[in-house]
Amino acid sequence: MKKILKMQILIVSLIFPVLGYSQSENIIFDVNLLNLDDSYTKNQVVTIWGEPDIYHQHESEFGLDERYYYGDNCFKFNKGIMNYFYINDKRFSIFNTHIPGGIKVGDPISVFNQLSFGKLHFKGTAGEFYFQIGEADDVIRVRADDQNIITKLIFTVSI
101/66 Cα distance (integer angstroms): 26
pLDDT in tens, the chain (159 residues): 544 434 443 333 333 333 333 334 578 899 999 998 899 999 999 999 999 999 999 998 989 999 999 999 999 999 999 999 999 999 999 999 999 999 999 999 999 999 988 889 988 778 899 998 866 677 899 999 999 999 999 998 876
Close Cβ partners of 55 (under 8 Å, ≥ 6 residues apart)? 42, 66, 67, 68, 69
pTM of the model: 0.80
What is the residue extent of each domain of the chain? 2-156
pLDDT at 28: 85
pLDDT at 12: 35
pLDDT at 35: 92
CB 76 within 8 A of CB 82: yes
pLDDT at 104: 97
